[in-house]
Amino acid sequence: MPNAAYSLTKTTPAIDGPLMLIIMDGVGLYKGAAEGYDGNALDQAEAPTLKKLLAQCPLKTALKAHGTAVGMPSDDDMGNSEVGHNAMGAGRVFDQGAKLVAGAIASGQLFRGQAWQELIGSADQPGLARKHQSAVHFIGLLSDGNVHSHIDHLLAMIDQCQAAGVQRLYVHPLLDGRDVEKQSALTYVEQLEQKLKSIDPTGSQYAIASGGGRMQITMDRYEADWSMVERGWQTHVLGAGTLYPSTTTAIESLRASVPGIIDQDLPPFVISRPGQPEEPLAPIQDNDIVIFFNFRGDRAIEISRAFTEAQFDKFDRVRFPGVHYAGMMEYDGDLKMPPRFLVEPPAIDRTVSEYLVRNGVHQYALSETQKYGHVTYFWNGNNSEKFDRALEDWQEIPSDRISFDKAPRMKADEITDQLIQALDSGRYRFLRVNYANGDMVGHTGSLDAAVAAVEAVDQGIARLLASGAKQNCTFMITADHGNCDQMYEIDKKTGAAKLDASGQPIPKTSHTLSPVPLLITGGNADRFTIDLTVQNPGLGNLAATILTLLGFAPPPEYLPSVVKPV
Structural domain boundaries of the chain? 19-96+347-565, 111-343
C-alpha span between 422 and 226 (Å, rounded): 31
C-alpha span between 542 and 548 (Å, rounded): 10
Predicted local confidence at residue 483, as pLDDT: 95
C-alpha span between 39 and 180 (Å, rounded): 17
The mean per-residue pLDDT over the stretch 195-208 comes to 97
Q: Across the chain, what does the average pLDDT equal?
A: 95
C-alpha span between 149 and 101 (Å, rounded): 9
Chain centroid to CA 506: how far? Answer: 23
With a CB cutoff of 8 Å and minimum separation 6, the contacts of 248 are: 186, 189, 190
The mean per-residue pLDDT over the stretch 464-493 comes to 95
Give 516's strand partners: 63
In one letter, which amino acid is 6? Answer: Y
CB atoms within 10 A of CB 65: 30
CB 302 within 8 A of CB 312: no
The mean per-residue pLDDT over the stretch 19-29 comes to 97
With a CB cutoff of 8 Å and minimum separation 6, the contacts of 113 are: 104, 342, 343
The mean per-residue pLDDT over the stretch 107-121 comes to 97
Residue 73 predicted with pLDDT over 90: no
3-class DSSP state of 39: coil
Predicted local confidence at residue 178, as pLDDT: 92
Largest CA distance in the chain: 77
Residue 33 predicted with pLDDT over 70: no
Predicted local confidence at residue 334, as pLDDT: 58
Count helices and strands in the chain by DSSP H and E runs: 18, 19
Predicted local confidence at residue 340, as pLDDT: 97
Q: What is the pLDDT of residues 367-425, one digit of tens each?
A: 999 999 999 999 999 888 999 999 999 999 999 989 999 999 999 999 999 999 999 99
The DSSP call for residue 378 is I
Residue 563 predicted with pLDDT over 60: yes
Predicted local confidence at residue 491, as pLDDT: 85
In one letter, which amino acid is 259? Answer: P
Query: CA 52, 56, 58, 59: dihedral to nearest 10 degrees?
Result: 40
Label the pairing between strands 563-565 and 528-530: antiparallel
The phi, psi pair for 74, rounded to 5°, reads: -150, 170
Closest to 326 in 3D by CA, of 285, 290, 360: 290
Label the pairing between strands 474-478 and 516-522: antiparallel
Residue 2 predicted with pLDDT over 60: no
Architecture, CATH, for domain 19-96+347-565: 3-Layer(aba) Sandwich (3.40)
Length of the chain: 566
Is the backbone peptide bond immediately before 338 cis, with ω within 30 degrees of 0?
A: yes
Is the backbone peptide bond immediately before 13 cis, with ω within 30 degrees of 0?
A: yes
Predicted local confidence at residue 1, as pLDDT: 45
Predicted local confidence at residue 77, as pLDDT: 82
Tell me the three-class secondary structure of 256-322, residue by residue.
Answer: HHCCCCCHHHCCCEEEEECCEEEEECCCCCCCCEEEECCCCCCCCHHHHHHHHCCCCCCCCCCCCCC
In one letter, which amino acid is 229? Answer: V
Give 141's strand partners: 174
Residue 108 predicted with pLDDT over 50: yes
C-alpha span between 60 and 48 (Å, rounded): 17
Residue bearing the bigger pLDDT, 490 or 219: 219
Residue 266 predicted with pLDDT over 60: yes
Q: Does 403 participate in catalysis according to the annotation?
A: no
Handedness of CA 37, 42, 48, 54 (dihedral sign): negative
The mean per-residue pLDDT over the stretch 256-274 comes to 96
The whole-model pTM stands at 0.78
C-alpha span between 59 and 156 (Å, rounded): 47
Task: Report the chain's C-alpha Rg in angstroms.
Answer: 24
CB atoms within 10 A of CB 502: 5
The DSSP call for residue 127 is -
Tell me the three-class secondary structure of 179-191, residue by residue.
Answer: CCCCCCHHHHHHH
The mean per-residue pLDDT over the stretch 231-237 comes to 98
Residue 10 predicted with pLDDT over 90: yes
CB 154 within 8 A of CB 138: yes
C-alpha span between 446 and 426 (Å, rounded): 39
C-alpha span between 279 and 244 (Å, rounded): 10
Question: 111-343: which CATH number, 3.60.110.10, 3.30.70.2740, 2.60.60.20, 3.40.1450.10?
Answer: 3.40.1450.10
Q: What is the pLDDT of residues 150-188, one digit of tens each?
A: 999 999 999 999 999 999 999 999 999 999 999 999 999
Q: What angle do CA 259, 264, 269 make, to 5 degrees?
A: 80
- Of 7, 74, 81, 304, which one is the catalytic site residue? 81
Segment among 129-133, 464-468, 487-491 with least mean pLDDT:
487-491
Question: DSSP string of 440-481?
Answer: HHHTTT-HHHHHHHHHHHHHHHHHHHHHHGGGT-EEEEE-SS
